[in-house]
Amino acid sequence: MLNKDRAWIEVNLDNLEHNINEIKKVMQAGSEIMAVVKANAYGHGSVIIAKKLNEMGIYNFAVATLSEGIELRENNIKGDILILGYTNFENIEYVAKYNLIQTIVDYKYASRINTMGHKIRVHIAINTGMNRIGEDFSNIDKIIEMYKMKNLYVEGIFTHLSVADSNLDDDILFTKGQIQKFYYVINQIEEVGIDAGKKHIQSSYGLLNYPEIKCDYVRTGIIMYGVYSSKKDYIKTKLDLKPVLSLKVRITTIREIKEGASISYGRTFRSNSKMKIASVSIGYADGYPRNLSNKNAEVFVNGQKARIIGRICMDQLIIDISNVEKVEIGDIVELIGEEEEISAENVAEKSETITNELLSRLGARIKRC
């Protein structure tokens, strides 16, 4: 229903499959993909993406929140689903009810969950330098104690690298230190005869820049969707990635304006001559960044280039179609896609952010198909 109405995302599942195969080429034998489908699969639609991955034989997923995990289960996604973020105590029972796996954010959190009477599957996060979540790597006694808590099934342990996307000597040293600290923890656990469970360290850039790490899982997010976080990143192992997402909307009105006319809020754009302009059915409430106002952001109309002019509104924006031929109300405008000018990397750069943010903020009003 209401397909391709005012704004929609076309998801290219063949490209997703292609990217997965590219990623597998650089993974160590024995490593498996843990597909990161948090934030609605970085805006792509988590159920669409996870269904396709299930069909491809991928049965390990990561989400950020309990409700994201429940959504996958309610749509019959099979396999293990790890919640990478925090779940509050009052909702812990749902982790068990939906057969999800909770990240243990530290020892205190584990201790309290252990007293709640639900048997919970968990992976323990270890802080090796990110200083976000995770029990500190040096607290070996506490980490070992968590493995012995009777209501926790500790099935895995992981850490997260904070500068895997940099090739500065200092950053490489720091990353190697993080990896070393993680393996120190693993060794200490195994030394007392405990099975540490599934181990994982790398996300996308961890894989691209430290492919030699041999772990049970690689937590692939952004590169699975066929784009890099930013064009400026250091990438040792370049893959042949193909973008999975394209963002399309409609031309809603077409008008001619005179020289000196102003466009949109604040009258920030004034025409230097007669122009042909069109309003378009997307705005910042859909996640198209407002800071692309008056930045010459490009779009494609019927395969021809046009640019955004004036301030981007909440639900609409305006483009210059003076040089676009044969354009009608209802025609399709593409704002993010495979063309270089509208690649997620280029749009994100112009908007002073990374593709992860640009894509994950594409909103609920946009249908995925």
Ligand X SMILES: *Cc1c(COP(=O)(O)O)cnc(C)c1O
Q: Does residue 219 bind ligand X (CB under 6 A)? A: yes
Q: Does residue 282 bind ligand X (CB under 6 A)? A: no
- Closer residue to ligand X in complex, CB, 209/279: 209
**Gap between the Cα atoms of 156 and 181, Å rounded:** 16
Q: Which helix (H) or strand (E) holds 39?
A: helix 38-42
- First and final C-alpha spacing in the chain: 11
Residue 265 bears catalytic tag: yes
SS3 content of the chain, % helix, strand, coil (to 5): 35, 25, 45
Q: Does residue 221 bind ligand X (CB under 6 A)? A: yes
Per-residue x/- mask for ligand X, residues 88 to 127, rule CB under 6 A?
----------------------------------------
User: According to CB under 6 A, which residues from 116 to 175 bind ligand X?
Assistant: 160
Q: Does residue 84 bind ligand X (CB under 6 A)? A: yes
Phi, psi of 101 (to 5 degrees): -120, 125
222: exposed, middle or buried (C-beta count within 10 Å: 0-12, 13-18, 19+)?
buried
Q: Does residue 220 bind ligand X (CB under 6 A)? A: yes
Q: Output the residue with the shortest Cβ distance to ligand X.
A: 221
Residues 6+ apart with CB under 8 A from 271: 257, 258, 259, 260, 261, 262, 263
Among the options 86, 119, 148, 265, which is catalytic?
Answer: 265
Q: Which helix (H) or strand (E) holds 50?
A: helix 46-55
Min CB(164)–ligand X separation in Å: 8
Q: Does residue 318 bind ligand X (CB under 6 A)? A: no
Q: Does residue 36 bind ligand X (CB under 6 A)? A: yes
Q: Does residue 244 bind ligand X (CB under 6 A)? A: no
**Residue among 87, 114, 127, 203 that touches ligand X (CB under 6 A):** 203
CB 172 within 8 A of CB 161: no
Helix (H, G, I), strand (E, B) or coil at 171: helix
Min CB(78)–ligand X separation in Å: 21
Binding region for ligand X (CB under 6 A) out of 47-55, 105-113, 218-226, 344-352: 218-226
Q: Does residue 199 bind ligand X (CB under 6 A)? A: no
| Greatest extent of the chain over all pairs of C-alpha atoms, in Å | 80
Among all residues, which ones are annotated catalytic? 38, 265
Q: Which residues bind ligand X (CB under 6 A)?
A: 36, 38, 84, 160, 203-205, 219-222, 356
